[in-house]
Each structure stands twice: as C-alpha cells, then as structure tokens.
Amino acid sequence: MDTEILKQELAAIRNDIKQGFAEQDARIDRKFVEKFAEQDIKIDRKFAEQDVKIDKKFAEQDVKIDKKFAEQDVKSDKKFAEQDVKSDKKFAEQDGRMRMEIAELLETQITPQFEELRSEMAKMRSEMVTKSYLDDKLADLEGGMVSNLRKEDNKVNKLLKLLETKSILSGEEVRSFDEYQLFPRLPAV
C-alpha cells in the first residue's frame, strides 16, 4: 500500500507539474502574442512613416523631373521654330528661283514650239480635203469598179455562151454559173 500511495502522490505531483507547465506555457504564449502584436504595430507604424517619406521624396523628384522636361520642351520648341523659319526662308528662295526658271523655259523653249505646232496644224488644215470631195471621189471609184465588174461579167457570160454553143457545157451547167454572177442575165424570151 505504501507503494500505492506513493504512486498516487507521484501521479498528483506529476499532474500539478503538468498543470503548472501548461499554465506557464499559456502565460508565455499570451506574453509572446502580446509582445509580437506590439512589435507588429510598431513595425507597421515605421513602414507607414517610411512610405510617407518615400512618397514625399518621389513627389519632390517628380516635380523636379517635370520642371526639367518643361524647360527642355521650351528649348526644343524654340530651336524647332528657328529651324522652321530658316527652312521656310530657304524654300521660299528656291521656289522663287524655280518659278523664274520655269517662266524663262516657257518663254524661250515651250512657247516657240507651240507656235510652230500651231502653224503646222494650220497648214495641215488648209491642205486637208473636205467630206464632199471624198464623197465624190468614192462615188467615182465605185462607179469605175462597177463598170469593170460589169465588163468582167459580160466576158464570163460570152464565154459560157460560147462553151454552150460548142457543146462543151450543157445548158444546166451554164445555168449553175448564174448563181455566181454579180449581174444576173435576164432570162431569154
């Protein structure tokens, strides 16, 4: 029994020690959490202060950079304006010279050539034939051609008649040639 009691007392002491450790552990955890929370708040505050300082410095730098860009823009605009004036002046001089050269070219070379062309065209117009003249000539040619064709047709008719009378061609064969004649013969009565 003595051992039994000792075991029970030992178990009670162990429980007390465990409970003491648990309470001590809980206190340490609470203190750690409290200290950690305090440190977290301090760190957040310091970060916020640093953010404000950094933002302020960036804003100052931004203002300085904007000012420098504005100064450079003014300088660039001034230089470009000067260059534009110089370029415009040069182009105006060149344009004036080109206009003078073109006017001289027109006067000395192109205008005389146009005058020469005009005189050649007037000469050609005076030598050209009229429509009525061409119509008369065409009618004469057509009449001459019809006359020649009529003569040829008469020759063919005489030849066919001769061949028929000599019995080289039959009457039917002679009539078949009538289809090809330009001026058909009148049937014999």
State whether 102 and 144 are in the same domain. no
State whether 110 and 146 are in the same domain. no
Contact 90, 98 (CB under 8 A): no
For 168, the domain range is 130-189
Each residue of 78-104: pLDDT tens digit?
888 888 888 888 888 888 888 888 888
74: left (phi over 0), alpha (psi -120 to 50) or beta: alpha
Residue 93 DSSP class: H
State whether 98 and 134 are in the same domain. no
- Distance, CA of 61 to CA of 68 (rounded, Å): 11
Boundary (domain end) residue, out of 78, 99, 128:
128
State whether 148 and 118 are in the same domain. no
Residue 167 DSSP class: T
- Distance, CA of 35 to CA of 41 (rounded, Å): 10
Say what percent of the chain tops pLDDT 70.
95
Average pLDDT over residues 167-178: 84
What does the pLDDT read at residue 32? 84
State whether 147 and 174 are in the same domain. yes
Average pLDDT over residues 162-187: 78
What does the pLDDT read at residue 187? 58
Residue that has been written with the tokens 């178990």 in this structure: 11
State whether 168 and 179 are in the same domain. yes
State whether 122 and 161 are in the same domain. no
- Number of domains the chain is built from: 2
State whether 86 and 173 are in the same domain. no
What does the pLDDT read at residue 123? 85
State whether 112 and 157 are in the same domain. no
Instruction: Kindly report the pTM of this predicted structure.
Output: 0.31
Residue 169's CB is within 10 A of a number of other CB atoms, namely: 18
Say what percent of the chain tops pLDDT 90.
4
State whether 76 and 138 are in the same domain. no
Q: Which of 22, 25, 21 is nearest to 33 (CA)?
A: 25
Q: Is the pLDDT of residue 189 over 60?
A: no
